Amino acid sequence: MGSGGREHALAWKLAQSKQCDELHAAPGNPGIAKIGRCHPVRAEDGEGLLGFCGEHEIDLVVIGPEAPLVAGLADQLRHAGVAVFGPSAAAARIEGSKTFAKEVMASAGVPTAERLSVARPPCVVKVDGLTGGKGVFVCRTQADLDEGLRSAAALGGPLVIEELLEGEELSLFAICDGQNVVPLAPAQDFKRLEDGDRGPNTGGMGSYSPVPGIGPAEVEELLETVHRPVLLELARRGTPFIGLLYAGLMLTDSGPRVLEFNCRFGDPETQSILPRLDADLLPTLAAAAAGDLGGDEIATADRASVTVVLVGADPLGRGDRGTPIEGVEEAVASGALVFHAGTAERSGQLLTNGRRILNVTALGADVAAARAAAYEGVRRISFAGMKYRTDIAAAAEARVG
């Protein structure tokens, strides 16, 4: 379910499974159409989706985006007997409401940024609801704060004010069956529009994995501190979380702090994480959906991966539509994976269709090699208004040496 780069990466990975006889996407995109069948059923159309699942005897639905999860699509399918990887509306509130997430963290003893009762710089202003990654304003100065409060008010909804945390950010995903967790490799994403982490927050301009200094021992400690307590708390409340629990973390000098939870695979981290997997992902998602992960583990290869997001004109607003895209096949021939994020196809011509247009991912023996290969792929692609960050994973490359 879904139509972005994350869903293309998921479809690409699941289609490789021996257990996958047929892959259907609703609504999918032109990239997914090359590996499965796309159907014009929208995420908001629960009834349509149910009929579709019956008609095609769908054995497992994997829901990509947060909005249908928060709206209860997983509940609707599950009640009708369809196996779903994705949380109930009640559990998806961990992403849908920042106030709810704070409450759960407080009960579960999970470290997070402290809530502030007055907005005074430095602080962070967050809109309490789904905003597609654009409802957070990091305010270091009074001018930032004035601007942040104005922009937040324009989005509407109650505000959460919290302390501004400093440190390295990390995304850690865990596949959950309501009780147990199977972690995926840690990743970092780049939310700011411009090189050097400048400019406004976007839905994500790139990602890479693994993250230097975050090995299996660090992952285990984070699961123990963050994911497992939250799962326990949600189960205790009678709303167990089945799906992908995404912790957005700040690694501060005084330990990890949760910035946010998401109730689904992250975009564009997924595009970097999945190509590194040695293991088949499908049986693990199916086991989680069935509520029984058992002792499942997911083997990840040593190689690194880097994803560069290509945006078009107006990447923060309405995006770009109908501009011809050239060079995707050449990028693939250079060894890169090209995931479609916002594209359309007309008479065999690929066109822009959204804010984030394509994701170019490459694997390599280390971050430096993956980075070079990803940008090599990027250079083969062109469309009017194309923009991308040139510094994705540059700092990690420098740290690894």
Q: Which residues bind ligand GLY (CB under 6 A)?
A: 133, 189, 204, 262, 266-267, 269
138 near ligand AMP, rule: CB under 6 A: yes
Dist. CA 36–CA 41, nearest whole Å: 15
Considering only residues 214 to 253 of the shown chain, the ones binding ligand AMP according to CB under 6 A are 248
Q: Is the peptide bond before 275 cis (omega within 30 degrees of 0)?
A: no
CA dist., res. 256 & res. 245, Å (int): 16
Shortest reach from residue 345's CB to ligand AMP, in Å: 32
Which of 59-67, 163-171, 279-287, 329-337 is the region at the interface with ligand AMP (rule: CB under 6 A)?
Answer: 163-171
| Residue nearest ligand AMP, CB atom distance | 260
Binding site partner of 204, from ligand GLY, ligand AMP, none, Cβ cut-off 5-8 A by kind: ligand GLY
91 alpha carbon, distance to own chain's centre: 17
Question: Closest distance between ligand GLY and the C-beta of residue 265, in Å?
Answer: 8
The yes or no reply on residue 162 touching ligand AMP (CB under 6 A) is yes
Q: How far is CA 49 from CA 46, 58, 399, in A?
A: 5, 10, 47
Q: How far apart are CA 16 and CA 36, in angstroms?
A: 11
Q: How far is the CB of 156 from ligand GLY (least distance, A)?
A: 20
Pairwise CA distance, residues 251 & 86, whole Å: 27
Cα-trace Rg, the chain: 20
Give which of ligand AMP, ligand GLY, none residue 269 binds (C-beta under 5 to 8 Å, depending on kind). ligand GLY
Residue 66's nearest CA partner among 262, 227, 204 is: 262
Q: Is 164 in the site for ligand AMP (CB under 6 A)?
A: yes
Quote the tokens at residue 202. 């976007």
Q: Whole-number minimum distance, CB 318 to ligand AMP, in Å?
A: 21
Contact flag: residue 165 with ligand AMP (CB under 6 A):
yes
113 lines the binding site for ligand AMP (CB under 6 A): yes
Stretch 319-358 residues interacting with ligand AMP (CB under 6 A): none
Which of these, 203, 192, 207, 202, lies nearest to 361 by C-alpha position?
A: 207
Q: Is 264 in the site for ligand AMP (CB under 6 A)?
A: no
In angstroms, how far is CA 324 from the centroid of its own chain? 27
DSSP codes of every residue in 340-371 = ESSEEEETTEEEEEESEEEEEEEEESSHHHHH
C-alpha–C-alpha distance, residues 155 and 150, integer Å: 9
Asked if the bond preceding 268 is cis, omega within 30° of 0, the reply is yes
Query: Which residues, 6+ apart, have CB-to-CB distance to 225 below 8 Å?
Result: 110, 111, 256
109-131 as b/e, with b when 16 or more CB fall inside 10 Å?
Answer: ebbbbeeeeebebebbbbbbbbe
Binding mask 176-195 for ligand AMP (x = CB under 6 A): ---------------x----
DSSP lists the bridge partners of residue 353 as 321
- Least spacing, CB of residue 184 vs ligand AMP, in Å: 18
User: Residue 248 Cβ, how far from ligand AMP at the closest point, in Å?
Assistant: 4
Q: Which of ligand AMP, ligand GLY, none is residue 162 near (CB under 5 to 8 Å by kind)?
A: ligand AMP
Question: Using CA atoms, how far apart are residues 349 and 326, in angstroms rounded to an integer?
Answer: 9
Residue 169 binds which one of ligand GLY, ligand AMP, none, with CB within 5 to 8 A depending on kind? ligand AMP
Query: Applying CB under 6 A, which part among 27-35, 157-165, 287-295, 366-374 lies near ligand AMP?
Result: 157-165
In whole angstroms, how close is the CB of 216 to ligand AMP at the nearest point? 24
Q: Which residue reads 């869903």 in tokens? A: 7
Nearer to ligand AMP, 201 or 352 (CB): 201
User: 20 or 113: whose CB is closer to ligand AMP?
Assistant: 113
Which residue's CB is nearer to ligand AMP, number 96 or number 240? 96
Q: Residue 354's closest CA among 343, 367, 368?
A: 343
Closer residue to ligand AMP in complex, CB, 259/311: 259
Applying CB under 6 A, the residues found at the interface with ligand AMP are: 113, 124, 126, 133, 136, 138, 162, 164-165, 169, 191, 201, 248, 259-260
